[in-house]
Structure 1
């Protein structure tokens, strides 16, 4: 199946004659929106118009439709209208919500299209988890596109994951209408150095989109990565890096998640000229921030009000630029033939949303709560217990007792890159402040010894935090001031089949259960948000200085993001893609 046959791309031959009749004025419209001001994301103009809708599509735009016969008229009363917002790259699993709760939380915020990579659940459950996301995409009103997870595991040989996702399995699912292409190719060394297995994946999906993942990649290495056909990158962290990627034709996906926040750094690159090559994504954003800040609507508001980006350019990045980049010819504009995914706003600069339309239906008139519960059941989520680790004792961690110089991961706030530093440890105390014990514990039934590390920058002064979300293989990550509380936290994760835990002085103080693959909750967005608020209350009592320590912890395990990371197999120097010892030699 070609890109032309994917979801949203076609009007059927049965439907098209009716839509043409409505466009000509020979047939009654389904919906007519009048007294509305269109923000034209192509020209940047704002002008009064009418929007004629038939079925799920816009059949006409212009004041010439003002007197058309219609089943329903909506008077916009001078409000503004823009295309629906598109998130160019995200992992729904990081929201801890099912795709249906994610839809319920983000669709009213204007996110009518989400382009996701479910490699989190695929690393845990293999094709079973990926196919669940495809079933979800068939049930959501939100346009949910599911990119083919390209790196499961993220870096073969460097971590233990729950299941492989082979090229044969990928190719069998390629023709699904929700698959737009290959998801983020994190193994950029494999691409650059012509690894046969990696290039086979690129070749198999070369007729679709090829998403990239190349933090800090510059010069000849970047040239080689692009030569292979990679189209974009959402991992850009410096201004000059972003400029070079744009200069070399790479799509710049500007990210603002719950931890990785690159909007401020990259916004100066955005202007009228560059905007067709720039788009927006959230990558990893949790229900707390979605509820308190927003989703793509928040990124638009920040670009306009804090980073000096023109209004029409900010909205262009969230709509037409993204649709054009991914070849979604019927999305991203308020224009004839486009899907009637619209955002109606009281004010453009503050992104004050009055209502949203998805496929010509007002979201405010849809019972998303009931649909979420029903669709979750219909989708048959993978509910097997994926936490197969035996309970741990404090002595099982086995930290060194001899004095010496040790390697330490230093957290960079609001970034998923880390620093590689060293510190002296005498077997009990560290020479530097705020250095903690850290372990990555294999959870797939092999009961291997934990990978051990030290980490600086969390601020924890007592107790421990543990999580079954540790990108991308999702073993159990735990950070603590002592091994007794670390064991308590880990054992609670094992007992509840996955989630987040705060423990102190031998007791569990707060927890959030994630029974679907140890990644996703069965609860509503509001309930998840409440659980996160409880976690925040408890970990702040223990001195944590990070706003989102669990998300930050999750990325400390990812061995494709510089500079130093910890997998269940040990410390990985990501600048050289080599294991190193905890002790400096």
Structure 2
């Protein structure tokens, strides 16, 4: 393998800075930095594949796209023969959370660039829930140092549901207004407090107004199947897109109301197949549909891909390949008001493109960003300098005291031999849960689990302020058959610690170990540590290379399977059990939450 090119990355020149150069190159008065010849131009504006096309690049932008760029070739021009392969715009991820990859922005870029992703729109509301505005700024600054385009959305809901959870920080209209002045803020992150928007909550109204006044895009998150008046009130409140749909009717409803329907395929969310039928079967205009990942585990990034995986999947559902590519390029750029910057191969745009040998299979041979080849045949060719996080972003896990098995005891209602309890029901490959009920045994005043019927315990351990508080409940769907416990400080969105287990001693051991290493995710069984992914940055991200994190994550996955769990990407399901803005039943630091009512409920029925 050739040595990687050491490169310093700077913010690309604006179009106005290089426009005279682009005109001169297009006219042949100056020579291009790079010319790619004899390609098949995948034109996402016209929906055509145009054979025998040359593209000329200067100043990091496309200057000429046409049948013959020989007039732009000079002594210093690098010439690449596409040999009839396809020239495809660099892929865009319209909505995602870097922290879900368990790595930093830099490491995320290292992992996804070989898969053709050249633009990302990230919502760092995970780190915001731990470190507040400081955390957003840290990721914003890291994003600007990358060789590809990483735009940042200002988190809108910290905490996600005021009154139903307490995060490590709180943000409001004042902070949103401040962030809108930052260079790399592209809009407002997903507005998860959909009841607040529909109720004209002052905080939500103020944040959305500040974003609109700044001319930025307002991200949506309507996680409810109710398409009646609450949905209409939410749309009227300003959100411009939504990725929480799971049914074709969800996508149709959003598009009809002028929103963009974002169809996601993450590590554990499989919502493209059902919703893309709105295009393939109902014939809706595909210009208003966008592909995204939302949450991608490090193992998925390293092994299966990123946006290339989503595009392939969309094509497999019956989409025309060009339409699928439009949904991952031009549609995204237009939505964020960046059509003149990216999302297509056309003059003036940043020279982010792929050379692809098989369009339907999206076989990516080469990846270019701003006119520089970044990867070839799945291997990164550049060395992206490491990014260091300050001490203030570490040591954020504060347990208050060393936990013991008794901290996970659940006292039964007085005088009962059996207790009917609410149980969080995990749904494979979906973010929503089910609100289940189960009759559980009582011994010596303590409610037990029911492993035979797949009911084990879940606990949320407060970790931001060191109160030592533990909220206990029950969960079903993981299928654990052995004595075990898994703990994680990634617990969307408040990011306390979630512990799920069949054995209370293991639950305590797992929680204490995470406190010791500063956060992450861990599996214990019978007092033995089976797998650990350390995430010392805000308890959310590792400072190791993506490949190393993926190996550790794979060990964790194997450990979960060995304990009886057969769920696809069960870690991602585990991490959402405290997400009190997605129905039906969740756990938070204030108790058990019924998200269909947006209210705390008793554990026992």
Quick check: 1:250 aligned with 2:259?
yes
Which residue among 33, 45, 63 is the counterpart of 2:48?
Answer: 45
Structure 1 equivalent of residue 546 of structure 2: 525
- The counterpart of 1:466, out of the listed 469, 487, 500, is 487
SS at match of 2:274: helix
Structure 1 residue 238, shift from structure 2 partner:
1.4
Give the whole-Å Cα distance in 1 for the aligned partners of 2:314 and 2:208.
34
Please name the residue that 1:392 is paired with. 403
In structure 2, how many angstroms separate the alpha carbons of the residues matched to 1:422 and 1:446? 32
Question: Which of 289, 292, 316 is matched with 2:326 structurally?
Answer: 316
- The separation in 2 between residues aligned to 1:92 and 1:78, in whole angstroms, is 35
Say if 1:382 and 1:516, in contact at 8 Å, map to a contact too. Answer: no
Give yes or no for the alignment of 1:229 onto 2:238: yes
Show the counterpart of 1:420.
Answer: 435
Give the alignment of 1:481-492 within 5 angstroms: 481-492=502-513
Partner of residue 156 from structure 2, selected from 133, 150, 156: 150
Deviates more, 1:39-48 or 1:461-470: 39-48
State whether residues 132 and 381 of structure 1, in contact with CA within 8 Å, keep that contact through their aligned partners in structure 2.
Answer: no
Q: Following TM superposition, by how much is the alpha carbon of 1:552 offset from its aligned partner in structure 2, in angstroms?
A: 0.5
Contact 1:436 1:456 in 2 (8 A): yes
The separation in 2 between residues aligned to 1:234 and 1:327, in whole angstroms, is: 18
Distance 1:96 1:244 in 2: 34
| Structure 1: gaps spanning 5 or more residues | 1-6
What SS is found at the alignment partner of 1:421? strand
Q: Is the contact between residue 132 and residue 382 of structure 1 (CA under 8 Å) also seen in structure 2?
A: no
Contact 1:32 1:52 in 2 (8 A): yes
Q: Distance in 2 between matches of 1:236 and 1:141?
A: 32
1:467 & 1:500 partners in 2: Cα distance?
4
C-alpha separation in 2, matches of 1:524 and 1:68: 40
Aligned position for 1:439: 459
Which segment is superposed worse, 398-407 or 128-137? 398-407
Tell me how large the CA RMSD over aligned residues is. Answer: 1.8
Q: TM-score, normalised by structure 2?
A: 0.92
Match of 1:27 among 5, 30, 33: 30
Query: Judging changes above 3 Å, is the alpha-carbon distance between structure 1 residues 381 and 17 closer, same or farther for their aligned structure 2 residues?
Result: farther
Structure 1 position 435, deviation (Å): 0.5
User: Residues 245, 364 of structure 1: CA spacing in aligned structure 2 closer, same or farther, 3 A cutoff?
Assistant: closer
Report how far residue 540 of structure 1 moved: 1.1
Q: Whole-Å Cα distance in 2 between the matches of residues 459 and 367 of structure 1?
A: 38
Who is 1:350 aligned against? Answer: 361
- C-alpha contact 1:8 1:328 (8 A) present in aligned 2: no
2:421 maps to which residue? 406
1:128 to 128, 131, 134: 134
Partner of 2:78: 72
Deviation at 1:239, TM superposition (A): 1.6
Q: How many residues align?
A: 574
CA distance in structure 1 between the aligned counterparts of 2:164 and 2:338, rounded to whole angstroms: 36
Return the offset for 1:12.
3.3
Q: Secondary structure at the match of 1:243?
A: helix
Is 420-429 or 337-346 further displaced after alignment?
Answer: 420-429
Question: Please, which of 574, 577, 580 is the counterpart of residue 598 of structure 2?
Answer: 577
CA contact (8 A) 2:249 2:275 kept: no
TM-score, normalised on structure 1? 0.95
Write out per-residue CA displacement over residues 5-28 of structure 1, whole angstroms, 9 at most, x where no aligned residue. Answer: xx8794134x22222211211111
Unaligned runs of 5+ in 2: 1-10, 443-447
